[in-house]
Chain A
């Protein structure tokens, strides 16, 4: 469903040359849930922007559903890291969620998505009347209501408290199962990556390559208490942790 082949991105300008991505190759099957972890500044956002067709790679290519990506592909949604700036400040919450939608299911989809992220009450507010965490949930609701085939999420839970975060993690797993969406999820949080994904890709510091890919062989029905307490969970997170430490020190 999603193929990244030999992707390389060098930023060059204003007297600063950054080799953000050195050489990345990986693949997501249809309906797969993959988490990307890597140190800050390693190029996770750069990678997502290349996949979304918002940034032209220096070398290599991205394919979504077999088609070469040259602009934003159909049926692809993004939850941006700068969630606050991705909302339209002149539109109310429900208008923000409904703007990309069309057709008779529009009102229903928007309403459901807002209810799912716990913001049914805030539908008539403007984004700037909400807290950072609430704005982030609006951005998530907009992506869910869009019913994408491929969903890219860039640290979508960075601004919410621990309890909301746990709720949203379970929501995303439920949405993923219900819609059968192919999901590429960027996070700083190793535990979150292991808890959510079917697979975790560990990135090095820039110039970035893939350090390790590990299959998360935890049962599909996950639960905040039992899954996180399972010995296998601890083992997996230990392995990711070691790799990230190596990435930092090397």
Chain B
């Protein structure tokens, strides 16, 4: 595989909720190992865009290709794509009735049919990596927000994805916990996984992103490498948006 290979291609992707046109001709190509940050005002379609990539949302027009597979409405294809793409949510979405370890074992044992012993080994490895191995037997509600989000990241890593999607992973966290989660994400980024992250953490974007994308009203308005993006915005809408998020 060449490093230039396209991991994700979105071609003229359009989506409607009823009459409401949420995504308008989204074109996006992401190369293997690339880190992309998406930002934009609330309701601009950021979540919807990345949720199309693992088919949590259906789209009505356009084409999406993930690592060589065309995303179509077929159970097998969708299952294949979901083994390839991991997603971390704003509200963690851990399973409260299962212990941390069981949360991590679920997909490897039930979906990927790994032997339990092996799955436990992998799970503990990733819990170690997100620095939370000592909490393996606790239940999610016994952990802090930052810890829960790190568990969610580990749960995702256990399916060994080639692409990771993050939907505002730190915006439900208390300020003092944001950095412990971002640190884990920076480490992940350094290892070369393909990553798309919806976030307004500009420090993070500047540090890891190869590209930052600005969305507004269901469209990609501007994209650039991070320093140009933040220091030298072209469109008025991005200028306004950056003013707003910088001024608080």
Partners in one complex: no
